[in-house]
A and B are shown apart, each in its own frame.
Chain A
Amino acid sequence: MKFKEWLLERFPIDYEKFVEFNEKIFIKEPIPTHMKKWLFVMGATPLIIFGFQVLTGLFLTFYFMPSPEMAYESIRHITEDVRMGYWIRGLHRWGANLMIISLLLHMTRVFFTHAYRKPRELNWIIGVILFFLTMTISFTGYSLTYNQLSYWATTVGTNMIKEVPLIGDLMLFFLRGGDVVNTNTLTRFYTLHVMILPGIIFFFIFLHIVILRLHGVSIPEGFEEKYYSFYPHHFYKIIIATLFLLTLMSTLTVVLPPGIGIPADPSVTPTHIKPEWYFFPTYRFLKMVSLHVGIYATAAFVLVFTFWPFIEPLLSKEKRKQTIFSRTAGVLTLIITLILTIWETIVI
C-alpha cells in the first residue's frame, strides 16, 4: 500500500469519496432485470464497436496516406504487404458495417419498446443524430480508399448536397475544396473522418450515456421494476459481448477479407456503381423519383423520424392509440427499408 500513499500525497483526492463515487456510478449502477436478456443489450454494442474503430483506425493512420497518388497504393500496401495489415483493415471495415447493423437493431428495439417516450425524447434525438453521424463517418471513410467505386460514390454522394436550398453550392464547394472530387476532397474527408466526426460522435455518446444514466434504463411493458447491480452480472455480459464482437469481426475478416478494387480513374465512370449497402434504400428511392422529390422526401422522413417522440403525442392523447400509430409507422418503415435494400441488392 506504500504506492497508494505515495500517489495520494501527490494526487490528493479524497480516496473514500472516490471509492464511494465509483461504487455508485459503476459497480452498483442499477440495471433493470429485463437487461439480463441479450436482446436488450444492443445499446452497448455500437459503443464497444466504436472503441474498436478508434483503435484500429488509429493504427491504420500509421500507413495510410491521404493523397490521390498514394491513397489507393497505401491501402494496397496495408492489405497486401504489411504484416496483419489485412486484419487491422478488415476489423475496421467490418466494424463499420457491424456498427451500423447494431445501431439499426438498437433503434428498432428502442422504437418498438417505446423507450423514446417522455421524458426520454431528447435521448432519442441524440441517438438519431448519432446514427446519421455514423452514416457520415462511414461515407467519409469509404471515400478514403480511392478506388473506382469509392471515387464515384463520393462524386455522386457529394453531388446531392448541391440540392440543399440556398447554401447547397457553397457547401459542396467547401466539402470538396474545389469543383470536382480532387486532392483537397481527400484531405478534407480524411480530417473529417479521423478528427472532426469522431470528436463529435464522442461528445454525443457521452451526452447519450449521461442522459441515460440520469433517467435510468427504461423498463419495457410487461417487465417488473426490479434492479440488480452492474457488477458482476452486467460487467461480464459486456466482456462477453466484446469478445464475441472481436471474434465475429476477425472471422468475417478472414472469411471475407477486404478487397482493394480498381484504382480511381476520374475520366471513366464504371458501368455499374453502387454505394455501400446502408445507402441502398436512399439510392433505390432516388432512382425511382426525380432528384428534387427524392431529396425533399428523404429530408421529410428524417425530420419526422428524429422528432417522432414529439409527433406521436400530437396524433393522439391516448397511449393505446399512440402504440397502434407507432407500431404501424415502425413496421411500415422497416418493410419499405427492407424492400428497397433487397431490391437494390438484386437489381444490377
Chain B
Amino acid sequence: MAEEDKKVNRREFFFKTGVFTALGLAILAFFRNLLLYIFPERKEKTFHKYLVAHEKEFKKDKRPKQINIGKTPVFVVPYDDHYKVMSGICTHLGCIVKWEQDKDRFFCPCHKGEFDRMGNVIGGPPPRPLDEFKVVVENHKVYVYVEDKVRSPWA
C-alpha cells in the first residue's frame, strides 16, 4: 500500500514538473518575443555621397562656401589642398551660424558663439566645435557622406 502511494506521488511529481516546466518555458519565450517586439531594432547607419563643391571654385576665392543639404546649411572650407565640410548648426543651442569674412570667423547671433575657420570654438558658450562631415575628393569634385534618412516615418 505504501509503495502504491509512492508510485502515485512520483506520477504526480512528473506531472507537476511537466506542467510547470512547460508553463515556465512558455512564459520565457513569450517575454523574450515581447522584449524583441517592444524595443525597435537598432539599424546600422548608412550613408550616401553628396556633391558639395568643385575644386576650381576655390582657385581664387578661399572663402568658405555655404550650401544646403536638405534643410541643413553646410560650409565647405578649403585649406592646404584639403577640404573641411562643417554643419552650419551651432553646437550650443542649434541656431544657424554665418561666416564673417572680415573677422575670419563663424558667428552665431543667438548667444554670440564664435568658431574659427576650422570650426573650433574661439569664444562664447558653444560646448564643442562645429560638426564635421566625412569628405572625399574625386576628379576634382568634393563630396561629403550624408546619413541616409529613411523615407518611412519609422526611421
Q: Is B30 a contact of A84 with CB atoms below 8 Å?
A: no
Docked pose: A230 CA to B150 CA in angstroms: 55
Docked pose: A84 CA to B33 CA in angstroms: 6
Report which of A82, A236, A240, A242 forms a contact with B40, defined as CB distance below 8 A.
A82
Report which of B15, B30, B36, B154 forms a contact with A83, defined as CB distance below 8 A.
B36
A 228-258 to B, binary, CB cutoff 8 A, 1 in contact else 0: 0000000010011011001100000000000
Docked pose: A243 CA to B25 CA in angstroms: 10
Q: Is A84 a contact of B36 with CB atoms below 8 Å?
A: yes
Q: What residues of B have a CB within 8 angstroms of the CB of A82 in the complex?
A: 37, 40-41
- Name B116-131 residues within 8 Å CB distance of A: none
How close is B150's CB to chain A, nearest CB, in angstroms?
Answer: 10
Q: Is B38 a contact of A62 with CB atoms below 8 Å?
A: yes
Docked pose: A59 CA to B34 CA in angstroms: 8
Q: What residues of B have a CB within 8 angstroms of the CB of A236 in the complex?
A: 15-16, 19
Which residue of chain B has the shortest Cβ distance to A240 in the bound complex?
A: B19
How close is A136's CB to chain B, nearest CB, in angstroms?
Answer: 27
How close is B144's CB to chain A, nearest CB, in angstroms?
Answer: 29
A 82-113 to B, binary, CB cutoff 8 A, 1 in contact else 0: 11110110000000000000000000000000
In this assembly, does B93 line the interface, its C-beta being within 8 Å of a C-beta of chain A? no
* A-side interface residues, number (CB < 8 Å): 19
In this assembly, does B152 line the interface, its C-beta being within 8 Å of a C-beta of chain A? yes
In this assembly, does B28 line the interface, its C-beta being within 8 Å of a C-beta of chain A? no
In this assembly, does B23 line the interface, its C-beta being within 8 Å of a C-beta of chain A? yes
Interface residues of chain A, those whose CB is within 8 Å of chain B, are 59, 62, 70, 73, 77, 81-85, 87-88, 236, 239-240, 242-243, 246-247
Interface residues of chain B, those whose CB is within 8 Å of chain A, are 15-16, 19, 22-23, 26, 30, 33-34, 36-38, 40-41, 152-154
> What would 17 A/B residue contacts be, using CB atoms closer than 8 Å?
A59-B34, A59-B37, A62-B38, A77-B154, A82-B37, A82-B41, A83-B37, A83-B40, A83-B41, A84-B34, A84-B37, A87-B33, A88-B33, A88-B37, A236-B19, A243-B26, A246-B30
